[in-house]
A and B are shown apart, each in its own frame.
Chain A
Amino acid sequence: MIPVCRLDDLPAGESVRVDTTPPIAVFNADGELYAIDDTCTHQDASLSEGWLEGCLIECPLHAASFDLRTGLPTCLPARRPVRTHRVTVDDGVIHVHLAAEEGTAA
C-alpha cells in the first residue's frame, strides 16, 4: 500500500505520478479515483501527463488512449493494456494497492 497524496490535493481532472518502479499514475476522473501503470505500453511516455476525458486517458506522445477502469487500450498505437491498481482513501489520504501485491497483503 503506497500513500500518494491528500485527496484535497488531487482535484477532479488532475493526475499525479508516483515514482515507484515502475511508476504509477493516479487520476481523479470527475470524483472517481483510478491508478494505472504510468508508462504508455506503446513507447516511453508518462500517462499522468496525458489528456483526461471521462474515464479515458490519452497519451501525450502519440495519442494512444486507455480506459482507466480496465487498463485496456481503446485505440492504436497502443496494443497492450496497462496494469490497473486499486485505490483507497484513508483519513483523507489516497493510497494505491499495487496489483502484484494483491492477495499477499495481510
Chain B
Amino acid sequence: MRTVTVVGASLSGLYAARELRAQGFDGRLVVVGDEPHHPYDRPPLSKDFLTGRADEARLALADAEETAELDAEWLLGVRARGLDSRGRTVLLHDGRTVSTDGVVIATGASARRLPGDGLVGVHTLRTLDDARALRTELSRGPRSVVVIGGGFIGAETASSCAGLGHEVTVVEAAPLPLVPQLGPEMAAVCAALHRRGGAGLVTGIGVAGLRGSGTVTGVELSDGRVLPADVVIVGIGAVPNTGWLAGSTLALHDGVLCDDGCVTALPQVVAVGDVARVGGARAEHWTSATEQPRVAVRNLLAGRTVESARSLPYFWSDQYGARIQFAGRRHAADTVRITEGALDDGAPAEGGFLALYERGGRTTAVLSIDRPRPFMKARRELARSEDPVERAGAVAS
C-alpha cells in the first residue's frame, strides 16, 4: 500500500494513524477531518471543560512533536462526501479527491437532533464547538437549564450545570434513564444521583416540543406541562456518520458493517470507533475507539482478517461527584447483586459499591460506583474468562 486515508480525525482516527506508523506503514498517510481542530478528547467536554476546570490545551490528544512524527497530511475542516465503489477514491466536500490504496473509516457519530432545535439557547454536546458555545452561555449568570435525555451525556452535563449553580431539570422519556445499559435496579441507583446532586428528574414523559420564537423559553412535555428554560441541552443519543458512504458498496445498517476484525466487505477498507458495527455490535465507548485501531490496521495491512477485535466492553461516567464504571456484556435476564459497599436511601452509600451481574452462576458484567480498585480486579477477571486462549488453557488444566 502506498497511500492510506483515514477518514475521521478524532480519537479512533488518530489511534489508527498511530497504529499505521507503529506497524510499519511508511507510505503516504492522509487524515481527513470535518472539524477544523486537531484531534481532541471528547469525554472532558461534558465535565471538566464545561465547568472550566480544564482548558482546551488539556483536550489535545497529540502534541506537536508526535503530530510531526506521524508525518501525515491533515485535511481538516473538510468533510468526506463519498467513497467510490472500489474503495480507491475518497471524495471531499470541497471537490477535491484523494486516491488511496487503503481506507480507515473513523467518521464517528453525530448528536441526534430534535425537531425545532434551531432556537437560540438549544444545544447539543458532542464537539468542541458545541462545548464552547454551551460554556459561554452558562457563564452568563444563573440559568434555568432543561436537559432532554437522561443518558450519560445528559447526566454528566446536568451534573456540570448543577455544579455551576444553575437550576437543572432532566427529562427522560423512559420510566428510568440508563435501563438498557445498567438494568432497572442499578439504573434506579444512578437516577438517585440526580436528586442527590440537586437536579430535578422527570421520567416517563416525552417531549412534545420546544417553546419560544427565536430564543427558547421552555420545553413542552407530552402531558401538556411546560418546563421554563433559557438553556436546553438535547442529549438523546448519537447517530453514526455513514451518510457520506451512501453511494459506496459498503453495507450500512446503524454503522458500517464489519467482521470481527473491523474489516468491511472491501478488504482494503476497515472501520473503527463509533461508526463501526464490528461483529454485529456497535459501541460508542472511548475504550473501543482506542482498542479497535490496532486490530483494524493489522488486518488492513495484512489484506485480510488475521485478528479479531472483540474486547470486553468498558465505559465510565463521572456525575455528581460519583464515578460510575461498567464492564462486560449484560443481558436483560441477568441478576445483579451488590458484593461490596452498600446503598443508602436508594443512592450509593459513602464509599460507593461494587455490583456483579450474573447468569447461571457466571459473572457477565461488573458495575462500580467509587470502588475503582475491586472494579479493576473484577474487570480483569471478566476479560480473562472471555479470552478464548485462557479458556482453552483452563479446560486443558
| Chain A residues at the B interface, C-beta cutoff of 8 Å | 43-46, 49-51, 58, 60-63, 76-77, 79
Contact = CB atoms under 8 A, between A and B. Distances in A.
Nearest to A45: B372
A61 B372 contact: yes
A43 B372 contact: no
A58 B377 CA distance: 12
Contacts of A51: 376-377, 380
Interface of B is mostly: helix
B194 to A, nearest CB: 21
A17 B323 CA distance: 18
B292 to A, nearest CB: 14
Interface in B12-70: 15, 18, 41, 43-44, 48, 61, 63, 66
B376 A50 contact: yes
Nearest to B44: A43
Interface of B: 15, 18, 41, 43-44, 48, 61, 63, 66, 286-287, 290, 316, 323, 325, 372-373, 375-377, 380
Given A49-B372, A50-B372, 4 more contacts: A43-B44, A60-B372, A79-B63, A79-B66
A77 B40 CA distance: 12
Contacts of B376: 49-51, 58, 60
Contact of B373 (A60, A63, A79): A60
A51 B373 CA distance: 8
A50 B316 CA distance: 15
Contacts of B290: 76-77
Contacts of B286: 62
Nearest to A42: B41
Top 10 A-B residue pairs of the complex, sorted by shortest distance between their CB atoms: A60-B372, A49-B372, A49-B373, A60-B376, A51-B376, A61-B316, A79-B63, A60-B373, A43-B44, A77-B290
